[in-house]
Chains A and B, each alone.
Chain A
Amino acid sequence: MNIDGQFQLPALRQKVWNKLNDVDVLRDFIPGCESLDQKDETHFEAVIRAKIGPINAKFVSQIELQEMNEPQSYTLSVRSKGGAAGMGEGLASVELNEEDTDTLLHYSVELKVKGKLAQIGSRLINNTVVKLSNQFFESFAAQFENPGKKV
């Protein structure tokens, strides 16, 4: 499935880029994030607890940054294992565009789920991803002077 979204952030593009690539910042703002460790320049491991309908599981995720084009765009490849809950694979493209002093962030996610997540969660996964993304960007935006808004 594909999920798209945009967020307007009240900061200059380079500043947004820097925050988005700051592990400590991300750890604070990713909903349910229990840990986030940088393995090397482009590889991270995250442990995130998420609830998708009746499934409440801890997902161990391997994240790789790809196609880094500072400060314009990058791609995140994520492989998550939720044990008995199943697993997910996602490819998220993030693009940052300057709009005066703001930055318009556009993201597009291609997501596949497997196992129990697919069997009982596939109808819920879309809404859950949108909800978690909104939560993330709302709190992420709040660290800048003015709160961001969803566009």
Chain B
Amino acid sequence: MAVNRKVIGQSLPRPNVMSFIKGHGKYLDDIIVPGMLHVCYVRSPYAHAKIIEINADDALAIEGVVKIVNGKDLLEYCKPWTAGLTNLGEMRSAPQHAMPPEIARWQGEAVVAVIAETKAIAEDAAELVEIDWEELNPVTDLQKATENDSALIHPELESNVAWSIDIDAGEVDSALENSDIVVEKVFEVGRQTGVTLEPRGMIADYDRGKSYLTLHHATQVPHIQRYIIARQLGLSESSVRIICPELGGGFGLKLHVYGDELTTCALSMMLGRPVKFVADRLESFLSDIHARGHRISAKVGVNKDGQIQAMTLDNLAGCGPYLIHPRTSVIEPLLVAICTPLAYNLQHYRAKATLVYQNKVPTGQYRGVGMPIASLVAEGLVDAAALACGIDKVEIRKRNLHAVDAYPVTAVSGEFLEGLSQVASLEKLTSMMDYKGLRAEQKTMRDKGIHRGIGVVTVVEGTAPSPALYAAGGAPISSRDACTLRLEADGEISCTTGLTDQGQGGVAIVTQIIADTLDLSMDAIRVSMGDTATTPFGGGTWASRGTAIAGEATLRAAKAMRASILEVTSMISEQPVDILDLVNGEIVNLETGETQMSMQDVGQAIHFKTHQFPEDFEPEMIITRHYSQREQLMVYANCALGVSLDLDINTGLVTLKKIWAVDDCGRIINAKLVTEQLRGGIVQGIGSALFEECLYDEDGQLLNGNLIEYLVPMAGDVCDIECAHIETPTKASELGAKGCGEAGIIGVCGAIMNAINDALEPFNASVTSQPFTPAKILRALGKV
């Protein structure tokens, strides 16, 4: 059955966009449940300390305070959990409590819950809770944490090393020895956090009569959260319903298990009343997952002609005091290890990673997960090699990318790459940039004392993971998704899916696929998401999987619906099914060109006028189809990205001039949404590259946990971003879509670093420690 591509590929407006534009979006904090209480958490001021005594008498005395609960009180309501995966080597992991009964292990860990009639009362009372602490030695420095005399965060684990991995493709040392040139660099990537516009939040509403917990929860993954929350609270999965309101950003941080959220659920069960928790910005900095925080020593061996012979890297990364549940914190260093060499054709590769516990906020999956670091390292090494060989930086990439006819290819780290358009993307990029013109201009500008830098990178973006990544390791994470379609009596289509939409435009993507397959107006389709009681079980939104996975499930459901509609029409009209087709919302006889039935006729027939059907005919008009990608660990997409910037060598300030990106995410459903995903990722990556870092002192105190000192990119920091697309559909699905949500953030950090170093070249200086702040640039120049 041919699918007309009438709607897929068009940049149509999102069906739900007017709601946001008019300010009608309803977020967690907009929701009020009758009888609702508010919880405010008292958080540990120390990175590592033992609770000796809690005195809450003064706080309890305040009018409006309902209850004050600590970690010991919670023990009978919420079980501790131990994060871990069994498929990625040994992980040393310790149990984590929703609130610790005895020892707080990071500054900001919630230790006491104050529940009151209003948020203001809860906050005031929380200030009066007195805790007598015994300070314990904090473990903060990555290197010292691995040493034998270090204090231990979990003495029972006998080491602060949580996990390590070795990947060795063989003969690396001899390949390095035989290389004409070996370049060695140390890259640092500072700790970051997600900074969603809307903070985390939840309303837990436990109905004692029905033993039923309803949660309004700002989460990317309602079905996964429901499974875990039910399990921790001792409820059955079907006794928990999660309803996601609209989400003001996710970026990965709203898919982990947080102690304060589980506590909120337990409090509602304890009190039999709805309880609302909304983190404020200061709490967000201390409790939302952090990410990155890696130090990588890396080497590349090249021949004089620029051919890469071998690459090695040794990565030391930190993960907070626990592995984050349920995905664990090892995926970031894992992806650094497996993704660094993906873009290039080399035979010898070795990667080592060590993940250590620290008394800092736990780390977890944040947009890009390891891949921005991998790209920074790979692209930094390639530029350094180009410089050492005296080869142009685009040319060296052309010489090392997988050849156009090499696909499918297994990269040196073992990853299967089905079909990338790296060479075409790079060529399109350099022509968009007018790379030669930019180089000529750079030379002229140098003479005028303006130091322009040009950075070009080629990115491989892992998307749409298979169950091999998490579920195979025992984690309750669905990499599958589903779409249910229902033909209504008025001929319109209702759709529910396990996908969620944090602003990416998932609703538009799903609607367009249905409209395209059924040749139906977008207005005749309504998509709802994010309610576990009404939507089919699905993985939700993470790892750039929405369009690739839920999109394919939607295509399958729409095709089945189409077949069902034609079958019913055939039955009623007594015409052979193969001469019928859906055209513009009607069922048309292709031979006569006449309309046989309208969609409404079919809807009426199946819901009301079933007397027209033969006795043994019972058409199904609620159709669910599933899809999980099982062929590849991830479906790899690719992107080429270029940056032009000016560097003030007196102040160290970077001014971005222009950014270009050519992305290939396979089949494009809505080009404008893909472009916006690219731009959004790039802007977030500008933050990583130039501004964002969680700064800690040696005692594990976060020193800039506020938006005055933790800088995120503002409109004035961003330049024009020009995007273009190439479509190489994946063979993993019929739809052919790959993900596109992370290419921007993955590529732009390395591109900015390379552009800065390109500008610094005449000064024999370079920077490799992200964020690339003016102070670091001036130090590299020897000016401070």
B-binding residues in A (CB < 8 A): 83-84, 86-87, 112-116, 118-120, 122-123
Who on chain A is nearest to B130 by CB?
Answer: A83
For the complex, is B42 an interface residue (Cβ under 8 Å from A)?
yes
The interface residues of chain B lying within 8 Å CB-to-CB of A116 are: 45, 282
A119 touches B282 (CB 8 A): yes
Q: List 23 A-B contacts (CB under 8 A).
A: A83-B127, A83-B128, A84-B128, A87-B45, A113-B701, A114-B45, A115-B45, A115-B107, A116-B45, A116-B282, A118-B107, A118-B697, A118-B702, A118-B703, A119-B107, A119-B286, A119-B701, A119-B704, A120-B705, A120-B706, A120-B708, A122-B703, A123-B704
B127 touches A119 (CB 8 A): no
A119 touches B699 (CB 8 A): no
Contact of A84 (CB < 8 Å), options: B127, B701, B706 = B127
Who on chain A is nearest to B706 by CB?
Answer: A120
For the complex, is B344 an interface residue (Cβ under 8 Å from A)?
no
The interface residues of chain B lying within 8 Å CB-to-CB of A122 are: 697, 701, 703-704
Contact of A119 (CB < 8 Å), options: B46, B129, B706 = B706
Q: Is the interface of B mostly helix, strand, loop or mixed?
A: loop
The interface residues of chain B lying within 8 Å CB-to-CB of A115 are: 45-46, 107, 701
- Min CB gap B634→A, angstroms: 37
Interface residue ranges of B123-156 to A (CB < 8 Å): 126-130
B705 touches A119 (CB 8 A): yes
Q: Is the interface of A mostly helix, strand, loop or mixed?
A: helix
Who on chain A is nearest to B46 by CB?
Answer: A114
- Min CB gap B698→A, angstroms: 9
Known contacts A86-B45, A114-B45, A114-B46; is A119 also within 8 Å of B128 by CB? no
Known contacts A86-B45, A114-B46, A116-B45; is A123 also within 8 Å of B699 by CB? no
B703 touches A84 (CB 8 A): no
- Min CB gap B53→A, angstroms: 14
Who on chain A is nearest to B696 by CB?
Answer: A118
B701 touches A114 (CB 8 A): yes
Contact of A118 (CB < 8 Å), options: B126, B701, B708 = B701
Query: Considering the complex of A and B, which 3 residue pairs feature the smallest CB-CB distances, nearest first?
Result: A115-B45, A118-B701, A84-B127
Interface residue ranges of B239-263 to A (CB < 8 Å): none
The interface residues of chain B lying within 8 Å CB-to-CB of A86 are: 45
| Cα separation A122 to B699 with both chains bound (whole Å) | 13
- Min CB gap B720→A, angstroms: 33
| Cα separation A118 to B709 with both chains bound (whole Å) | 12
Contact of B107 (CB < 8 Å), options: A112, A114, A120 = A114
For the complex, is B537 an interface residue (Cβ under 8 Å from A)?
no
A-binding residues in B (CB < 8 A): 42, 45-46, 107, 126-130, 282, 285-286, 697, 699, 701-706, 708-709
| Cα separation A112 to B107 with both chains bound (whole Å) | 14
The interface residues of chain B lying within 8 Å CB-to-CB of A83 are: 127-128, 130
| Cα separation A25 to B42 with both chains bound (whole Å) | 38
B699 touches A112 (CB 8 A): yes
- Min CB gap A117→B, angstroms: 8
| Cα separation A32 to B547 with both chains bound (whole Å) | 61
The interface residues of chain A lying within 8 Å CB-to-CB of B699 are: 112, 114
| Cα separation A93 to B44 with both chains bound (whole Å) | 30
Who on chain A is nearest to B698 by CB?
Answer: A112
| Cα separation A123 to B45 with both chains bound (whole Å) | 17
| Cα separation A83 to B699 with both chains bound (whole Å) | 19
- Min CB gap A120→B, angstroms: 5
Who on chain A is nearest to B44 by CB?
Answer: A115
- Min CB gap A42→B, angstroms: 22
The interface residues of chain B lying within 8 Å CB-to-CB of A112 are: 697, 699, 701
Known contacts A83-B128, A114-B107; is A120 also within 8 Å of B282 by CB? yes
| Cα separation A120 to B701 with both chains bound (whole Å) | 11
Who on chain B is nearest to A87 by CB?
Answer: B45
The interface residues of chain A lying within 8 Å CB-to-CB of B46 are: 114-115
- Min CB gap A88→B, angstroms: 11
Known contacts A84-B127, A114-B107, A118-B697; is A123 also within 8 Å of B709 by CB? yes
| Cα separation A115 to B699 with both chains bound (whole Å) | 11
| Cα separation A114 to B703 with both chains bound (whole Å) | 9
- Min CB gap A128→B, angstroms: 15
14 additional contacts (CB under 8 A) given A86-B45, A115-B46, A119-B705: A83-B128, A84-B128, A114-B46, A115-B107, A118-B107, A118-B697, A118-B702, A119-B107, A119-B286, A119-B701, A119-B702, A120-B705, A122-B697, A122-B704
The interface residues of chain A lying within 8 Å CB-to-CB of B697 are: 112, 118, 122
Who on chain A is nearest to B133 by CB?
Answer: A87
| Cα separation A83 to B130 with both chains bound (whole Å) | 7
The interface residues of chain B lying within 8 Å CB-to-CB of A118 are: 107, 697, 701-703
Who on chain B is nearest to A118 by CB?
Answer: B701
Who on chain A is nearest to B123 by CB?
Answer: A84
- Min CB gap B638→A, angstroms: 40
- Min CB gap B199→A, angstroms: 15
- Min CB gap B111→A, angstroms: 12
- Min CB gap A109→B, angstroms: 16
| Cα separation A122 to B126 with both chains bound (whole Å) | 22
The interface residues of chain A lying within 8 Å CB-to-CB of B42 are: 84
The interface residues of chain A lying within 8 Å CB-to-CB of B128 are: 83-84
Who on chain B is nearest to A122 by CB?
Answer: B703
Most buried by B among A112, A113, A122: A122
| Cα separation A34 to B163 with both chains bound (whole Å) | 52
The interface residues of chain A lying within 8 Å CB-to-CB of B282 are: 116, 119-120
| Cα separation A94 to B752 with both chains bound (whole Å) | 49
| Cα separation A45 to B706 with both chains bound (whole Å) | 32
The interface residues of chain A lying within 8 Å CB-to-CB of B703 are: 118-119, 122-123
| Cα separation A83 to B132 with both chains bound (whole Å) | 10
| Cα separation A116 to B45 with both chains bound (whole Å) | 7
Who on chain B is nearest to A120 by CB?
Answer: B706
The interface residues of chain A lying within 8 Å CB-to-CB of B285 are: 119
- Min CB gap A122→B, angstroms: 5
Who on chain A is nearest to B701 by CB?
Answer: A118
- Min CB gap A53→B, angstroms: 9
The interface residues of chain A lying within 8 Å CB-to-CB of B45 are: 86-87, 114-116
| Cα separation A122 to B107 with both chains bound (whole Å) | 15
The interface residues of chain B lying within 8 Å CB-to-CB of A87 are: 45
| Cα separation A147 to B190 with both chains bound (whole Å) | 50
- Min CB gap B385→A, angstroms: 40
The interface residues of chain B lying within 8 Å CB-to-CB of A113 are: 701
| Cα separation A144 to B702 with both chains bound (whole Å) | 43
| Cα separation A114 to B709 with both chains bound (whole Å) | 17
| Cα separation A87 to B49 with both chains bound (whole Å) | 14
The interface residues of chain B lying within 8 Å CB-to-CB of A120 are: 282, 705-706, 708
| Cα separation A118 to B129 with both chains bound (whole Å) | 19
| Cα separation A122 to B706 with both chains bound (whole Å) | 11
| Cα separation A86 to B46 with both chains bound (whole Å) | 9
| Cα separation A113 to B128 with both chains bound (whole Å) | 20
| Cα separation A22 to B713 with both chains bound (whole Å) | 53
| Cα separation A123 to B703 with both chains bound (whole Å) | 8
| Cα separation A112 to B703 with both chains bound (whole Å) | 11
| Cα separation A84 to B708 with both chains bound (whole Å) | 20
Who on chain A is nearest to B42 by CB?
Answer: A84
- Min CB gap B319→A, angstroms: 21
